[in-house]
Amino acid sequence: MIRALIGLYPGKWRAEFGDEFAALLEDTRLTPRAVLDVAVQAGKLHLVARRRLALVLGAALWSAGMEAIAVHDHLTANILWAPTNLAGSIMLLATVIPWSAMAGAALARRVGIGLRCGS
């Protein structure tokens, strides 16, 4: 079980902390909650290591959710739509803003402005 839990972590992390973490887990009672906590922390480290992928997935989920709400509330019949009222305009903005923000960040990085999240 300990080997499987450590295997959830990114390879770079395992190389640096794997042995110490294995010793810690050997001295820990592995309750279902402890196993869940270890798995969640491993997932967080993978997301941090792949921040750009996490941002793209987050934007995709957000946009899909906004589109689903817009279709459900009859603001549009499909994803290719032009808003005809204030609610439709707001939903369109909510759908495209994450992508616009990521495009702006990518452009800034490309031209060397050096904007960073969380720094």
Reported as a single tens digit per residue, the pLDDT across 70-96 is 888 888 776 666 778 888 888 888 888
Which tokens is 117 given?
């999240």
Reported as a single tens digit per residue, the pLDDT across 8-48 is 999 999 999 999 999 999 999 999 999 999 999 999 898 88
- Contacts of residue 78, defined as CB under 8 A and 6 or more positions apart, other chains included, come to 71
Q: Considering the entire predicted model, what is its pTM?
A: 0.48
Cα within 13 Å of Cα(49), Cβ side: 11
